[in-house]
């Protein structure tokens, strides 16, 4: 085998929906990509849609991180085949019995969106392997070097980073369209790819867990990404403009508030994911706050968790970013092992989430 191209990723999702019609349904995302590609997700679950708590898993956001799509396609295919055949799943030294497979498929809606950024992936696989962003030319000024927006800086969380963060914070985001890496776009949700993810969350109001699959660094990141977590001062929050210009500096007075119960749950589920990974072949992933990787704004996980704080009528979503592996495009031999690692971690995560 080898890495899937964009057509093959989408075909895999569509074919699974056809092969297992009683266990899943195809979800067509409302907006095509800039280059006109229609995106699909897959809802897996034996119960009627919307009657169980939901976990949303997305991948293929950063174009060069090829294996994220395969991780989610394989997870979906493995779960569906094992459930229908009444068997368990084995990933290296890790195993999940048939009862555990049933627990996941019967106990939750699992929404898998393997390829958020088809245009970027295609460009990465055919032109520039290290391409990260989407392929939107609208802000490029006609320069091919300035095409694209970093989708994982385009969500509505501290989008105005020049106001929100302290000078010298090193926040990994840019307002320069010619930034090859982290241009955040002209406004939150300016891009069809991020609007599709938002629509997926809006259309699944029972979503309680969210995981965005990326590479690399062998981490499982939980919120927050803008500053160090703290659970003592509720006034210190991304919603409070009194702290504008203070975020992003380690060890200073500001820390992003998260309730102790939410922090404990966030850490526990991240730990469970890492334990699942380690059970396959002993690979050690680290559970840590996103900020401990580097300070960020406009990311999917912070946005997903922040939704219930901005709009209390929305359900609370525990949100994470997986950073798999130690390079963006490992050999397929190694990627095949990483798929086992991460899929075991995601299954362990789902089983632990259902107990919370």
- Summarize pLDDT for 99-128 with one digit per residue, the tens: 999 999 999 999 999 999 999 999 999 999
Q: For residue 242, how far is the Cα from the chain centroid?
A: 30
Given a cut of 90, whether residue 193 has pLDDT beyond it is yes
Helix (H, G, I), strand (E, B) or coil at 320: strand
Provide the H-helix boundaries in the chain: 6-19, 67-85, 98-107, 118-126, 161-164, 192-203, 260-281, 300-310, 332-353
**54-59 and 109-113: which strand pairing?**
parallel
| Spatial contact of 88 and 96, defined as CB atoms under 8 Å apart | yes
Asked whether the bond before 170 is cis by omega within 30 degrees of 0, the reply is no
Given a cut of 90, whether residue 356 has pLDDT beyond it is no
Token code pair at residue 231: 């659970």
Cα–Cα distance for residue pair 195/356, rounded to 1 Å: 29
Token code pair at residue 297: 């704004």
CATH number of the structural domain 6-353 = 3.40.630.10
Cα–Cα distance for residue pair 279/276, rounded to 1 Å: 5
pLDDT band, residue 25 (cuts 50/70/90): very high
- Summarize pLDDT for 233-262 with one digit per residue, the tens: 999 999 999 999 999 999 999 999 999 999
Cα–Cα distance for residue pair 141/131, rounded to 1 Å: 19
Token code pair at residue 85: 């055949």
For the chain, the domains span 6-353
Residues of the chain above pLDDT 70, percent: 100
Q: Which residues, including other chains, have CB under 8 Å from residue 10's CB and lie 6 or more apart?
A: 37, 39, 40, 115, 118
Cα–Cα distance for residue pair 107/45, rounded to 1 Å: 8
pLDDT band, residue 1 (cuts 50/70/90): confident
Scored b (16 or more CB within 10 A) or e, 17-34 reads beebeebbeebebeeebb
DSSP string of 232-256, one letter each residue:
S-TT-STT-GGGTT-BT-TTSS--E
Q: Which residues, including other chains, have CB under 8 Å from residue 202's CB and lie 6 or more apart?
A: none
pLDDT band, residue 153 (cuts 50/70/90): very high
Number of C-beta neighbours around residue 149 at 10 A: 27
Residues of the chain above pLDDT 90, percent: 99
* Matching residue, tokens 């393997």: 114
**Which class for 212: exposed (0-12), middle (13-18), buried (19 or more C-beta within 10 A)?**
buried
């Amino acid at each position: 085998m080898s890495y899937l191209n964009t057509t093959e990723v989408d075909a895999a999702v569509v074919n699974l929906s056809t092969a297992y019609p009683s266990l899943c349904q195809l979800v067509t995302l409302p907006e095509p990509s800039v280059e006109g590609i229609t995106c699909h997700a897959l809802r897996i679950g034996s119960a009627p849609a919307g009657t169980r708590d939901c976990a949303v898993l997305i991948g293929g956001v950063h174009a060069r991180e090829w294996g994220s799509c395969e991780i989610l396609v394989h997870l979906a295919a493995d779960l569906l085949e094992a459930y229908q055949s009444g068997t368990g799943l084995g990933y290296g030294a890790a195993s999940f019995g048939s009862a555990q497979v049933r627990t996941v498929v019967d106990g939750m809606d699992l929404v898998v969106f393997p390829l958020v950024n088809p245009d970027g992936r295609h460009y990465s696989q055919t032109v520039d392997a290290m391409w990260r962003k989407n392929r939107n030319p609208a802000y490029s000024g006609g320069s091919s070097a300035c095409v694209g927006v970093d989708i994982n800086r385009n969500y509505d969380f501290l989008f105005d980073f020049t106001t929100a963060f302290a000078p010298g914070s090193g926040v990994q985001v840019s307002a320069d369209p010619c930034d090859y890496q982290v241009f955040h776009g002209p406004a939150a949700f300016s891009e069809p790819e991020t609007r599709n993810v938002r629509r997926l969350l809006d259309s699944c109001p029972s979503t309680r867990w969210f995981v965005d699959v990326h590479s690399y660094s062998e981490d499982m990141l939980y919120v927050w990404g803008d500053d160090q977590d703290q659970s003592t001062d509720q006034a210190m929050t991304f919603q409070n403009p009194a702290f504008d210009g203070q975020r992003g500096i380690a060890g200073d007075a500001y820390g992003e508030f998260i309730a102790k119960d939410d922090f404990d749950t966030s850490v526990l589920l991240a730990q469970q994911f890492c334990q699942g990974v380690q059970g396959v072949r002993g690979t050690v992933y680290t559970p840590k706050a996103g900020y401990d990787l580097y300070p960020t704004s406009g990311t999917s996980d912070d946005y997903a968790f922040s939704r219930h704080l901005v709009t209390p009528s929305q359900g609370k979503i525990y949100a994470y970013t997986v950073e798999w592996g130690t390079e963006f495009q490992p050999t397929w031999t190694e990627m095949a092992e990483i798929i086992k690692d991460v899929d075991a971690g995601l299954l362990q995560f789902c089983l632990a989430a259902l107990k919370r």
